[in-house]
Chains A and B, each alone.
Chain A
Amino acid sequence: MIIEYQRHSPLHGVHVANGAEWAAHHGMTIPASFKTGRAADECLANVALADVSALPKLGVKGPGAVAWLTGQGVSVPDTVYACRPMDDGGTVIRVDTAECFLEDRLGNNAVDTISAALDSDQAGVYRVPRQDAGLLLCGPKAVDVLTQTCGLDFRRLGTRLVYTRVAVVSVALLMLPDNNAPSYRIWCQPSSAEYLWETLAEIANDIGGGTVGLDAVARLL
């Protein structure tokens, strides 16, 4: 499924209100930076929240899903919630025994290629429409935003995907280890995205950080 339409982030309306400078990635206009608010460097030195919903996503579910993906050259992790980088870029996460979630790297088109190969008469293999809002929380104080909003023990968080609640919203959360300070990827239903974004941004702002555009966090994607 090659996307040929103008995609919008679920946070588009907030970004408009917050003075975004736009860039196009994967068919979506997304903030490259913000004209208002704290400077990106200052945010990154504390905590920065970015909208990375533009990254192409694909869900595949069904009794034949894992075998089909393997046939597409995707090396699917053996255990539920394990993550693995794909050979052609991007990440594959096994979200259930019979369901996988794929997300591409910025600028890469591996997931689009796999998506295009998934036609609808494939028995036992079904597309899961993945329209999640994708957030990235990084910086040394990123964990402080999470401890104010989520009951998980973040010092014990491994590198597997975790389904939990952040600010009462159901999310999937993944820690990206880093030598300096871990970053966190958060996926949620697009319908809850604006509320979650505003909540996390407010806390980040309170502790010296704020929202940043994609330019500031591109190295992590």
Chain B
Amino acid sequence: MKLLECPINGLRPLQEFTYGGELRPMPDPDACADDAWAEYVFNRAGEPGVRLEWWYHTASGTWFIAERDTGSDTIIRTCLYAELSEKEKKGS
């Protein structure tokens, strides 16, 4: 059972967490083209790589971000959403 470091609750087994999907910043819904919106809504990146992901520590109700290499399944870092850089929040 893998361990995951919650920024608030510390290192815990994966069972204590709920996966929340990749952090996928929303394009401006009023400005973007239909294609860009459809891409955001329906398409997910499946290829292995380093991703920012949402994770939820269920018992304490804590959402946080894990930077994970989905190829090697290694966690690079975890932090609260608020601690992300503006660039990371915007996905650029």
Please classify the interface of chain B as helix (H, G, I), strand (E, B), loop, or mixed, using the class held by over half of its residues: loop
The yes or no answer to A18 lying at the interface (CB within 8 A) is: no
Which one of B22-30, B31-39, B40-48, B54-62 contacts A?
Answer: B54-62
The yes or no answer to B15 lying at the interface (CB within 8 A) is: yes
Contact with B along A161-177 (1 / 0, CB 8 A): 01111000011100000
Beta-carbon contact of A170 and B8 below 8 Å: no
Which partner residue on chain B sits nearest A171 by CB separation? B59
Beta-carbon contact of A151 and B15 below 8 Å: yes
Q: Which residues from A are CB-within-8-Å of B8?
A: 80
Chain A min CB distance to B44 (Å)? 28
Distance, CA A151 to CA B11, complexed state (A): 11
Distance, CA A80 to CA B8, complexed state (A): 8
Chain B min CB distance to A56 (Å)? 23
Q: Which residues from B are CB-within-8-Å of A162?
A: 9
A: interface residue count bin: under 10
Chain A min CB distance to B80 (Å)? 11
The residue in B9, B16, B59 that gathers the most chain A C-beta atoms within 10 A of its C-beta is: B59
Beta-carbon contact of A163 and B15 below 8 Å: no
Chain A min CB distance to B8 (Å)? 7
Distance, CA A164 to CA B6, complexed state (A): 12
Beta-carbon contact of B9 and A151 below 8 Å: no
Which partner residue on chain A sits nearest B1 by CB separation? A151
Q: Which residues from B are CB-within-8-Å of A165?
A: 15-16, 58-59
The yes or no answer to B21 lying at the interface (CB within 8 A) is: no
The yes or no answer to B77 lying at the interface (CB within 8 A) is: no
Beta-carbon contact of A170 and B59 below 8 Å: yes
The yes or no answer to B12 lying at the interface (CB within 8 A) is: yes
Which partner residue on chain A sits nearest B13 by CB separation? A151
- Given contact pairs A151-B1, A162-B9, enumerate 13 new A-B contacts (beta carbons under 8 Å): A151-B12, A151-B13, A151-B16, A163-B9, A163-B57, A163-B59, A163-B60, A164-B16, A164-B59, A165-B15, A165-B58, A165-B59, A172-B59
Report, nearest first, the 6 A-B pairs whose CB atoms are least far apart. Answer: A163-B60, A170-B59, A163-B59, A151-B13, A164-B59, A170-B58
